[in-house]
Amino acid sequence: MRELRMLLLFFCLPGICSLPSYCQAPQVREVAITIDDLPAATRGSSGTGVVEMTSKLLQTLRDQKVPAVGFVNEGKLYKWGEVDARIKALQLWVDGGFELGNHTYSHMSLNQSNLKDWEEDVVRGESVTRLLLAQHNMKLRYFRHPFLDTGRDLQTRREAEAFLVGRGYHIAPITLDAWDWMYAGVYEDAKNRGDGGLQQELVKSYLSYSDDVFAYSEKLAKQTIGYEPRQILLLHANQLEADHIGELIEVMRKRGYRFITLAAALSDQAYGLPDTYVGEEGTGWLDHWAVSLGKPPQNAPVFPQWVIERSKNLALPQP
C-alpha cells in the first residue's frame, strides 16, 4: 500500500503527471481582482451606506489576503451632503493597503463621445485619487475604460491609448467577467424590500454563472493563445460583492486560483499580444485576441434571462 502511495505521489509531481485520474491537485491558476465604479456602483446608497459597504467588502479581501485595485469615477463623489463620506470610502481603500486607479470622472464611453471630451474626462477624474494615493507614496498608474469601450475605430483606439500612456497610465484589461452589475441591482432591490428568498436565489445563480464563465474563459484562452494567462477579473463596488465576495473567492479557489496583484498579472506576455479589436460593444481581452486572430469566440455561457427581465423591470442603469 505504501509503495502504491509513493508511486502515485511520483506520478502526480508537477510536470510528470502521467496518471491524471489519480491526480487530485487542481491546476494552479492565477488571477488579479479589479473592482470598478468606486466609491459605489449602487444607486440608492447614502454616504454612510457607501462607507459601510466599502468596509465590509475590504474586510473580506483583507481576511482572505486577496489584493485588489479599485477604479474610481470621481464624479460619484459629488453628491450633496455626502462628499466627505464618499471620499472616506476611497480613503478606506488606500489605508487598507489597496490601490486605486482611474475610470474617468463621469464613466464616459469612448465609443459614444469624441476623443477630446473623453480625454478631458480622464484628466478630471484624477484629482482626489492622486491626493489619496500620494498619502501612501503611491502614484496613479492604472486606467480602466468605462463599459470596456476602447474606441469604435482603430485610429481613435490608438490615439486614446497613446494619450493614456503619455499621462503615465497602464491600461488595465480584463479577461474574466460574470456581469455582477446585472445581478447587483436586483439584489440590492431585494435586500431593501427584505426579500431574503430572492437574494438567496440571486447569489446561487451568480456563483454558478461565474463558475461557468471561468470554465468557458479558461478553455477559450487555451484555444486562442495556447495557455491560460494570469487572468484579470472585473467586479463592481456594490452590496452583492460586499455581502458575498467571500463565496466568489471560494468558487475560484476550488478552480485552483491564487490571488495576485494587477502588476503581477500584467507581467504575463499575453497582455502584449496583437490586439486590433474595435467594436460598438466593449468586451474582454480574451475576445479581443480571438477576434484579432480571426477566430471569434463561440458558445459563451448564456446569462440567466430571468435576471435580465427583473433588472429591466427595475430600469437599472448599466454601470
Name the strand (E) or helix (H) holding 247.
helix 239-254
CB of 103 to Zn ion, least distance (A): 6
Least distance from Zn ion to the Cβ atom of residue 56, Å: 20
Q: Interacting stretch for Zn ion, rule CB under 5 A, among 28-36, 125-133, 171-179, 195-203?
A: 28-36
Half-sphere exposure of 114 (CA within 13 A, CB side): 2
Distance between CA 235 and CA 126 in Å, rounded?
Answer: 21
Cβ-closest residue to Zn ion? 36
**Closest separation in Å from C-beta 310 to Zn ion:** 21
Shortest approach of Zn ion to residue 286 CB, angstroms?
A: 19
Q: Among residues 146 and 297, whose Cβ is nearest to Zn ion?
A: 146
Query: Which residue, 221 or 233, has its beta carbon nearer to Zn ion?
Result: 233
Q: How far is the CB of 70 from Zn ion (least distance, A)?
A: 11
Q: Which residues on adjacent β-strands are paired with residue 234? A: 34, 177
The size of the interface with Zn ion (CB under 5 A), counted in residues, is: 4
Q: What is the rounded CA–CA span in Å between residue 265 and residue 92?
A: 24
Q: Where are the beta strands (DSSP E) in the chain?
A: 29-38, 68-72, 99-102, 142-143, 170-171, 176-177, 231-236, 257-259
Residues in Cβ contact with 59 at an 8 Å cutoff, skipping those fewer than 6 apart: none
Nearer to Zn ion, 23 or 171 (CB): 171
Among positions 115-174, residues that touch Zn ion (CB under 5 A) are: 146
Residue 76 and residue 103 in contact, taking contact as beta carbons nearer than 8 Å: no
Residues of this chain, 36-75, that bind Zn ion according to CB under 5 A: 36-37
145 or 288: CB nearest Zn ion? 145
Check: CB of residue 140 under 8 Å from CB of residue 161: no
Q: Return the DSSP state at 277.
A: -
Distance CA 110, CA 15 (A): 45
Closer Cβ to Zn ion, 36 or 268, answer by number: 36
277-296 residues in contact with Zn ion (CB under 5 A) are none
CB of 283 to Zn ion, least distance (A): 14
Cβ proximity to Zn ion: between 151 and 319 the closer is 319
Q: Which stretch binds Zn ion (CB under 5 A): 35-43, 89-97, 112-120, 288-296?
A: 35-43
Binding site for Zn ion (CB under 5 A): 36-37, 146, 319
